Amino acid sequence: MTGACGPGDGVPLIECRGLGLSRGGHPVLRQVDLTVGRAEIVGVLGRSGVGKSTLLRCIVGLERPDRGCVKLMGQDIGGLGEDELNSLRRQVGLVFQSAALFDSLSVFENVAFYPRRFLRLTESELGELVARHLAVVGLPGTERLMPAQLSGGMAKRVGIARCLAAEPKVILYDEPTAGLDPVMAAVLDRVIVDLRDDLGISAVVVTHDVRNALTVVDRAALLHGGTIYFEGRPDAFAETADPLVRQFVDGAVDGPLTDG
C-alpha cells in the first residue's frame, strides 16, 4: 500500500484516507475518506456492486488498497505484520451477510469459538459468557441448537454474539438485514442500536436498503463511482435536492443513476 496517514492520537476507531483499489485495471474504490467514532453507527450505502463490501475488506486488512491508508484504533495497518494486524482485528467484529456460522458446531460452540482459543476460562465461566452474549442478542437458551435449525435472523444474531465474545470496539455488518422480513430486520436493527447504547460498541452498516438504514445510523455515506459522493446525518439525505441522492433514497426508476 502506498501513501501514509498523518500523525494522530487514534480518536477515530476507524479512519480511511484516500483509499483506492483497482481490479484488473478497473477502479473499484477511488479516494475514499471515512471515519468512525466511538459509540457511533455509520452507514455505508450504495447500489449493489459499487464496492461496499470491498471497503469492509480493506478496513480489516483482508484486501490491501493500492493507495491511501486505513487506521484501526489509531494504527496504520499498512505496515503491520500479520500478528500485529490480527491483534487489531480482534477489536473489530465482522458479521457476514450469510452469518458464516460453523455448520458442524452448535450455537454454544460457535459463540465459544474465540474464547476457547484465546481466553483462559473454566467451563463454567465459558458457559456464563456464552449465555450472557446470547441474551444480549435476544436468543437465551439456544445453546444446543445447530445452525440448520436457525432462521436467517437467528443465525445473524448468533453471528453477532460470536463477535461479542471477542469484546470488540466496533462491529462491521455486511448487508445485515438482507433476506429478512420487516419484523426480523427491525429486531436486528434494535440489536445494533442497543449494542451502541448499552455497551458503547460502534458499527459500520453496509447496505443498499437506504430506508431501513436511515432509521438506525447516526451518519451515512453514499458510495458512488468509487468515492463517498454524499455524507451526512439521516435528515441530510431526506432534505437534499441532489438528483442522484434523491433517486437513490426515493428508489426512482428515472434519474442520473440509470440515465445512459
What is the pLDDT tens value at each position of the chain, 260 positions in all?
Answer: 444 454 444 579 999 999 999 988 889 999 999 999 999 999 999 998 899 999 999 999 999 999 999 999 999 998 888 888 888 888 999 998 777 899 999 999 999 998 988 888 889 999 999 999 999 999 999 999 999 999 988 999 999 999 999 899 999 999 998 888 889 889 999 999 999 999 999 999 998 888 888 999 999 999 999 999 999 999 999 899 999 999 999 988 988 988 75
Taking alpha carbons only, the member of 83, 85, 73 closest to residue 1 is: 85
Beta strand 219-224 with 227-232 is: antiparallel
Taking alpha carbons only, the member of 176, 196, 198, 175 closest to residue 187 is: 176
Neighbours of 42 (CB within 10 A): 22
| The predicted structure's pLDDT at residue 260 | 57
> How buried is residue 48: exposed, middle or buried, by Cβ count under 10 Å (0-12/13-18/19+)?
exposed
| The predicted structure's pLDDT at residue 98 | 78
Q: What's the CA gap between 240 and 256, in Å, rounded?
A: 15
> DSSP characters for 188-245?
HHHHHHHHHHHH--EEEEEES-HHHHTTT-SEEEEEETTEEEEEE-HHHHHH---HHH
> How buried is residue 210: exposed, middle or buried, by Cβ count under 10 Å (0-12/13-18/19+)?
buried
| The predicted structure's pLDDT at residue 100 | 85
Domains of the chain, earliest start first: 8-91+218-260 (3.40.50.300)
Q: What's the CA gap between 149 and 129, in Å, rounded?
A: 22
pLDDT digits (tens, 9 = 90+) for 139-196: 999 999 999 999 988 999 999 999 999 899 999 999 998 888 889 889 999 999 999 9
| The predicted structure's pLDDT at residue 81 | 87
CA 92 to chain centre: 9
